[in-house]
Amino acid sequence: MAARDTTMTDTIPDRLAALRQAMHHHGVDAVIVPSSDPHLSEYLPPRWKGREWLSGFTGSVGTFIATQDFAGVWTDGRYWTQAESELAGTGIALMKIASGASTDYVAWLADTLQAGQTVAVDGAVLGLAIARLLQGALDAKGIVLRTDADLLDAVWRGRAGLPPEPVVEHMPPYATMARADKLAALHAAMREQGADRHVISTLDDIAWLFNLRGSDVSFNPIFVSHALVALDHATLFVADGKVKPALAARLAADGVTVAPYERAAAALAELPPGTVLLLDPRRITHGTRQAVPGHVKVVEAINPTTFAKSRKSEAEAVHVRATMEQDGAALCEFFSWLEGALARRHEAPLDEVDIDRHITAARARRPGFVSPSFGTIAGFQSNGAIMHYRAIEGQCAVIDGDGLLLIDSGGQYIGGTTDITRVVPVGAITAEHRRDFTLVLKGMMALSATRFPRGTKAPLLDAIARAPIWAAGIDFGHGTGHGVGFFLNVHEGPHAITPSMMPEPHTAMEPGMITSIEPGIYRPGKWGIRIENLVMNRADGTTEFGEFLRFETLTLCPIDTRCIDRTLLRDDEIAWLNDYHATVRERLAPWVDGAALAWLNERTQPL
């Protein structure tokens, strides 16, 4: 069928109509468009933003499904308010799910379609684990699953190609382990699994393994690629022209060959009989798995690199701490500017986009800064209750009147990745504001001060941060913490402190892991509060019951004590906060002066 001429001036209903025409032409009764690419990335290159293009919903998590008489987006509570706004008038329903890991849409398809009907999804972007679940559910109902058709190509004229930006090398001293040493460690892990080949598709694993970085994905310094590792060499599949000759020569010296991106599937298909291939079923797509011939023995286990990159070395920790000082200094400059701007807001109006602009500019003045680590969330009053809110020029709130301003931001530096949330008062705030703020602070401090056995499954720690909030009859609809990379993805596995993740062996907490702690309280239509620091697992002695870990707080930025209800804090909590602020003042004072230093000294005064 000829491609329909669809441009960005088309309406969402126009695109749905075109998709349904393509469905009819291909004999398809339902289409699934996941928020995914061939690498199961969180942030997608433009080519694979099909769910956003079809629905208009811009959240980072969601699954789009269309039939001839229905269209919906399945997403979790972090995005409900946003989705209700963006889907309004499109004819697309918001389908609420408990978490981003939910697969409720699979049951919906099985219950809605009839035996003999057909569901289509592009297998190249469908996670293998989800594909297996989907296949089983549909087979049980006699529904056909097709994974060989990308119907977006039939309706999306002008669809982007592969990103052309060059790959660069992450160099010493920030790259603290040589590429050859990382490959040798991976070879040892492969031998333990009895494998002589290993396929990797997750982009942060590839970037970490080869000490390479890119800019193909917004906010995360990674590049579109696959890797096939043998015990004596490795092949990096990447678009032509992205690896310059000098870098290709350095890779070759370490036994790494560069090949065209589109050759990855063929390289798998050409594996000889007797090959034992290690793959991670949660980190490759159905399409990649389908390329593996039947004569290859497959061993399924988590990517060894996923474990390795999550456990930062002491040398990496030194760079992360230095990065936190630079980031904290930038935030001192920003917040000192913000307080002055808020005082003048009646003469010079200030809006949420201004917050994003100024906080990014403050970081950009710091050495080693590369980019933001995600889109800044600056939400005043009711917008702060939208967990993944993004201010848009001309459509955002002016910061006027009284209330709370939530600012969640972060930076990618060559020596580390940052992510921090702070809340500041604007004008007069209420006792209810202070109560909610203090409950969130109590939750953050409770987990930050926790000592726990090494190997504790990360999801089990979530309730510690929620306990003070639960005690008040309140909860929040996101996880308490996510892993963070080293100048890599701001959201990194394999661990996360969240009830939506099963406490499986691969979620065990080990020394060197960096995690956020970010409880919150959100009152739709009123305000939102979240307080976030990054922490690192550190050894904390051994007892007769085994090794224990504690959290080292990495983030360096004052927590606004003007928002605290002191009567709700215990003496030990006040001591924790005062100690934290003394550390912040000591570590940041050498890096700031003038108004920023005055602001730092004022905001770190003890309670």
User: Any idea what the CATH number is for the domain that residue 433 is in?
Assistant: 3.90.230.10
The number of domains in the chain is 3
State the pLDDT at residue 348: 84
Enclosing domain of residue 315:
311-603
Look at residues 155, 179, 201 and tell me which one is the last residue of a structural domain. 155
Same domain, 253 and 343: no
Neighbours of 360 (CB within 10 A): 17
Same domain, 276 and 352: no
User: What angle do helix axes 571-588 and 431-448 make, rounded to 10 degrees?
Assistant: 80
* Residue pair 263/285 in contact by the 8 Å Cβ criterion: no
Same domain, 305 and 318: no
Same domain, 509 and 552: yes
Same domain, 442 and 496: yes
Same domain, 497 and 590: yes
Cα–Cα–Cα angle for 112, 114, 117, rounded to 5 degrees: 110
Amino acid at 518: E
pLDDT digits (tens, 9 = 90+) for 32-64: 999 999 999 988 999 999 999 999 999 888 999
State the pLDDT at residue 100: 66
Same domain, 249 and 132: no
* Residue pair 47/161 in contact by the 8 Å Cβ criterion: yes
pLDDT digits (tens, 9 = 90+) for 10-20: 899 999 999 99
* Residue pair 79/388 in contact by the 8 Å Cβ criterion: yes
* Residue pair 151/62 in contact by the 8 Å Cβ criterion: no
pLDDT digits (tens, 9 = 90+) for 500-541: 899 999 999 999 999 999 999 999 999 999 999 999 999 999
Same domain, 122 and 232: no
- Does 1 reside within a domain? no
Same domain, 115 and 243: no
Look at residues 309, 343, 363 and tell me which one is the last residue of a structural domain. 309
What is residue 425's three-state secondary structure?
strand
Query: What is the average per-residue pLDDT within 544-558?
Result: 98
| Predicted confidence (pLDDT) at residue 149 exceeds the cutoff of 90 | no
User: What angle do helix axes 594-603 and 571-588 make, rounded to 10 degrees?
Assistant: 160
Whole-Å CA distances, 292 to 233, 286, 299, 441, 531: 19, 10, 12, 50, 46
Same domain, 151 and 185: no
Same domain, 411 and 531: yes
